[in-house]
Amino acid sequence: MNDKKINRLFSLLAFSLLTPAALAAETPAWNGSVLGFENPQKGLLGDMAGIRPILTDLGFNYNLGYLNEMGYNAGGGYNHDKHLAYIDQLALTFNQDLERWTGIPDARIEGNIVNRNHDDNLTTRRLQDPRVNFNDLSQESWGGQSITRLGWLTFARSFDDRRLTWRIGMMNKVQTFDQIIPCDFQLLSQCGGKSANSLTWNNWNVHTWGTTFEYKLMPTLTLKGGVMEQNPQAASRSHAWSWSTKGSKGVLLPLEIEARPMINDLPGAYNLGVLFTNAPQSDLYYGKSGGPGATDPDGYAQHNRTWFLYGGLNQQVTRHADDPERGMSLSLSGSYSDQRSNYIHTAVAASMRYRGPV
């Protein structure tokens, strides 16, 4: 083999070894800003006269947020009377870093406290017959009552070089599951994913006991699972600050796979989840004797093993040439339930989001 062929061979080998690294370097990092995952903002109150930097130095980070939602019935609906419905909430979400004190990787205490006011929702007041179960809300933050409650208080840490995250305590599903679509809209059906349609666990500001894990199978692929308390009384006023499991009917076993790939150099988020529970769920029609439950002297039949499926996607589809955080994203989410016991058999929602000036 002459020198020219040897040089070509070494050149080809060097190119084959360097190309993956070069391509990886050229691939933009996953940035979810256009998808709705905004970086933390400085905040309206700034550094609060030096208080926030002191707390940050001690490992305490927090977000204090205020939200109000209004809906007006100009005409129509179950009740045709005009009505302006108003609700608001104040939420404190915090995180205390424990790694600096204990040396445990990513050890932290996580908390959420929410104050909701004004039991006034347009869907239940005007749009829909109050005798019928609702499947959507015009103001998603309505909680059925004015109340201050603990949303979650959990301990979390990582293992296996930060590939595994473990969480335990009084928790809410949104800390771990169904996180691919943000709540950009006031309409409940357009607020995040569809996992809440299972009707067996609560959204955001209601806690139950449990433990969950997240394991990164690959940098872009995460497997999530857990064991959580199923408690129909969790949203009641008596449970707002309780650490009791009184009222629990069983356990929830969620399992989800989440992917956050780059497609055509644009970020996306995809998930598919399944939820099992052994908590008794009433049949929608049949009674314990086999006939209609409404006339059965023993009441409606109970199912001790029910399931629920949910999934979705959130994909950036355009990017401005001069600004990677400016562009359009499209989302699609849906759910499919055990139709014996869940009146929301299927649900689908789609949305478009554009970030930045047009």
CA distance 274 to 272: 7
CA dihedral 320, 321, 324, 326 (to 10 degrees): -20
pLDDT in tens, 197-232: 999 999 889 999 999 999 999 999 999 999 999 999
Please say whether the dihedral angle defined by the alpha carbons of residues 286, 135, 208 and 172, taken in this order, is positive or negative: positive
3-state secondary structure of 157: strand
What pLDDT score was predicted for residue 48? 82
Lowest mean pLDDT among 10-19, 187-196, 197-206: 10-19
Contact 174, 207 (CB under 8 A): no
103-110 average pLDDT score: 97
In the chain, the DSSP E strands lie at 60-73, 83-97, 108-117, 147-159, 164-171, 208-218, 221-230, 250-259, 262-263, 266-277, 281-287, 300-303, 306-316, 327-337, 346-355
28-42 average pLDDT score: 88
Is the pLDDT at 22 greater than 50, yes or no?
no
Which residue would you say has higher pLDDT here, 9 or 91? 91
Query: Taking the complete model, does pTM exceed 0.85, yes or no?
Result: yes
Q: Which CATH number fits domain 59-355: 2.40.160, 2.60.120, 2.60.40, 2.40.128?
A: 2.40.160
Closest CA to 252 of 232, 273, 230: 230
Lowest mean pLDDT among 37-41, 77-81, 85-89: 37-41
302-326 average pLDDT score: 95
3-state secondary structure of 186: coil
3-state secondary structure of 95: strand
CB atoms within 10 A of CB 123: 22
Residues with Cβ < 8 Å from 162, sequence gap 6 or more? 105, 106
Is the pLDDT at 258 greater than 50, yes or no?
yes
254-273 average pLDDT score: 97
Is the pLDDT at 284 greater than 70, yes or no?
yes
pLDDT in tens, 270-282: 999 999 999 999 9
DSSP annotation of 247 reads T
Using a 10 angstrom Cβ sphere, with 0-12 exposed, 13-18 middle and 19 or more buried, the burial of residue 355 is middle
Is the pLDDT at 14 greater than 60, yes or no?
no
Q: How many CA atoms lie within 13 A of 147 on its CB side?
A: 18
Residues with Cβ < 8 Å from 328, sequence gap 6 or more? 34, 316, 317, 318, 352, 353, 354, 355
328-340 average pLDDT score: 97
CA distance 31 to 29: 6
Is the pLDDT at 15 greater than 60, yes or no?
no
Which residue would you say has higher pLDDT here, 40 or 90? 90
What pLDDT score was predicted for residue 204? 85
239-256 average pLDDT score: 96
- The DSSP element (H or E) to which 26 belongs, if any, is helix 3-26
